[in-house]
Structure 1
Amino acid sequence: MRSRFAPDRNLTVRMVTVIFLLGLTYVAFVAALIALLKSVPLVIVIVGALLVAQYWYSDRIALFAMHAHEVTTEEAPQLHGTVDRLCALADMPKPKVAISEIDMPNAFATGRNADHAVLCVTTGLLRRLEPEELEGVLAHELSHVAHKDVAVITIASFLGVLAGLLVRFAFYSELFGGRRQDQNTAAMFAVIMAVSALVYALSFLLLRALSRYRELAADRSAALLTGRPSALASALVKVSGSIARIPTEDLRTARSFNAFFFTPALKESSSLATMFSTHPTLQRRLDALAKISTELGLHG
């Protein structure tokens, strides 16, 4: 039976393009590391181990970082009931359900595929939203799982994570060990730092462009599945307004998961920053939902 989350051809094209371009960058990056470190086995073991860890344990890492835990039907009957209804309506496997014990109102989906996915909501979100608004948010996150863009973002973000780690490693090695290094070693660290920084910048830009589109695609899929674009729009306004009132220092830890969140933990304050954001602006998302309401012949 075909899922009610209809395939999004534009999203698929963007995901394939980003993975292809990042793949080329990844190959070049590994080749550069091999040439610099002169150890094929070492590079392959390190890179391979990090990739496998991020792919297979991304859900556990995310839940741990967000202080979340899986909940049973008995522990969260209403939440499970809503997820059950949406999965039946979308004709897709039900993911694990988790709750994060933080006040920041948000939600995210993670996992390497639909059979190993986790849908997580925060206590702050559950406390603030009405049932129909929560349904819209959950449908949004389930759309990410159905379209496999959670797995794509997880894999694609690996290159940026690796490059970022190498930049820090090279920087601190030069900072604390510079006097003990000969010129050749220092030059090698400088090249590694430069290559890693370039790779990080490329992956950063590609992932941001993909992430912004995937959020609009998930909004649309959720609105069409539930038939209530206005409820999702209301949830967006509530969540964005609530996050804006939470102290910035309380949001910094969560910021690294922005690409996976329903709305970003920290807002971008300038037009340039918005260009590099993981999410479209609130107004753009609301305008897109208003357009869907018109398409469906709904008002408000």
Structure 2
Amino acid sequence: MIAALGLIVLLPFVFVYTFLFLANTLGIALLEWATERPYHGEFYVDPIVLTVVVLAGLALQYRYGPRTALGSVGARVVSSDEYPDLHATLTRLAAQVDASKPDLAVVSSEVPNAFAVAGGSIRGLRGDDPGATGTVVVTTGLIERLEDDELEAVLAHELAHVKNRDANLMTVAWLLPTITYYLAIAAFYVLYGLYRLLGAGGGSSRSGNSDGRGLAVAIVVIVVCAVVTLAVSAMFWAASVLLYRVLSRHREYAADRAAAAITGSPAALASALETLDETMPELPDRDLRKLDGGTEALYVAPLEARAFGSKELVSTDIFPDTHPPTEDRIDRLRELARETDVPSEVARG
């Protein structure tokens, strides 16, 4: 966790200094060519200012990232009066691991899934525990489709994420992949827009040589800047996504084992995952898309891209393969069930 957090903090600095290096090499050469005069200065970023900006960005992501994720899927904090059984189960599980009880939120969706985020409030609303350090979210589809022991296992899985501070880490780790993704998209649309403009005759000039050169210079500068931005953003997107993917896959395995230890029934979580894996491809695209707020890596089970007949999910676009294969997770839990000699139909399967 410490090494991962260090990389999460380090990558934004490397990202900025990569752009700074390119600005002082390629950028200055481009500036001298465009102005036809030498440029004796250099671009500079104060390390203290950069540190403050990066840490502030991470802090803002930590503070508002959970609200954004929860708001994107329409999650609503619910009280113990609305869902007494779920609250009672979550309270008991939290007491077992000596953790503060997270807030409980529900998403009205037929898609059976769950996730957890850091922070205990959504749009200013709080659950029963004002000291909550996280929020566990379940869908109505999950509540309706799972048996009580399976639902308990899923809640234990999400509680493990909160207890182990996975939710905090993944919330912060979300920052750079998102920024680099949208920077790359913006650069692509600049190039595409320029291409369409020139293709429509917008680049023609009937003015003198000076105006013609000015237009050519502007086009070259825009293209070079856009291409460099696209290339660097794509490179750091790939690096940050790789880190995010490794973290996500590792935390899912760890949370599976923790849930099995908390509930004492690896078979229950295996059965729940099997139900989710079988159900997801059968659901209509529109139901799956309602949960597609870029929070793919947070779900207990991935929103399978194979179930989509048209476009890819935004989340699988930004964070591909963030979960281990569900079949592998089920096999590991079944093996764990056999090792602990838990008799069940799933363990014998």
SS across alignment from 2:295: helix
* 1:89 corresponds to 2:89: no
Output aligned runs, 1:1-300, within 5 Å.
15-34=1-20, 36=23, 38=43, 40=45, 50-112=57-119, 115-177=132-194, 181-255=218-292, 256-267=294-305, 277-300=321-344
> What is the alpha-carbon root mean square deviation over aligned residues?
2.7
| Aligned-residue offset at 1:89 | 1.0
- Work out which of the two has the higher radius of gyration on C-alpha atoms and give 1 or 2: 2
> For structure 1, which segment, 33-42 or 181-190, has the greater mean C-alpha deviation from structure 2 after superposition?
33-42
| Aligned-residue offset at 1:18 | 3.1
SS across alignment from 1:251: helix
* Residues 201-239 of structure 1, C-alpha deviations (whole Å, 9 max, x = no match): 111122112211211110110011110111111111111
1:298 maps to amino acid? V
Contact 2:188 2:230 in 1 (8 A): yes
Distance 2:178 2:56 in 1: 13
1:184 maps to amino acid? V
SS across alignment from 1:298: coil
> For structure 1, which segment, 177-186 or 42-51, has the greater mean C-alpha deviation from structure 2 after superposition?
42-51
**Structure 1 stretches lacking a partner, 5+ long:** 1-14
Contact 1:268 1:277 in 2 (8 A): no
Distance 2:55 2:167 in 1: 20
| Aligned-residue offset at 1:128 | 0.7
Distance 1:46 1:33 in 2: 16
What percent identity do the matched residue pairs reach? 37
Contact 1:108 1:261 in 2 (8 A): yes
Distance 2:62 2:298 in 1: 15
| Aligned-residue offset at 1:247 | 2.1
Contact 2:281 2:306 in 1 (8 A): no
Q: Which residue does the alignment assign to 2:124? A: none
Contact 2:267 2:334 in 1 (8 A): yes
SS across alignment from 1:98: strand
| Aligned-residue offset at 1:294 | 2.4
> For structure 1, which segment, 213-222 or 111-120, has the greater mean C-alpha deviation from structure 2 after superposition?
111-120
The TM-score normalised by the length of structure 2 is 0.73
Distance 1:209 1:268 in 2: 22
SS across alignment from 1:109: strand
Distance 2:251 2:54 in 1: 27
| Aligned-residue offset at 1:50 | 4.7
State how many pairs are aligned. Answer: 282
| Aligned-residue offset at 1:166 | 0.9
| Aligned-residue offset at 1:154 | 1.4
SS across alignment from 2:236: helix
1:151 maps to amino acid? N
SS across alignment from 2:112: coil
| Aligned-residue offset at 1:252 | 3.5
> For structure 1, which segment, 204-213 or 21-30, has the greater mean C-alpha deviation from structure 2 after superposition?
21-30
Structure with the larger helix share: 1
| Aligned-residue offset at 1:44 | 7.7
Q: Which residue does the alignment assign to 1:4? A: none
* Residues 250-298 of structure 1, C-alpha deviations (whole Å, 9 max, x = no match): 32453421110010011569xxx9xx51111122111111122123222
Distance 2:236 2:60 in 1: 20
Contact 2:173 2:244 in 1 (8 A): yes
Contact 1:33 1:43 in 2 (8 A): no
> For structure 1, which segment, 75-84 or 45-54, has the greater mean C-alpha deviation from structure 2 after superposition?
45-54
Distance 1:266 1:123 in 2: 19
Contact 1:166 1:192 in 2 (8 A): yes
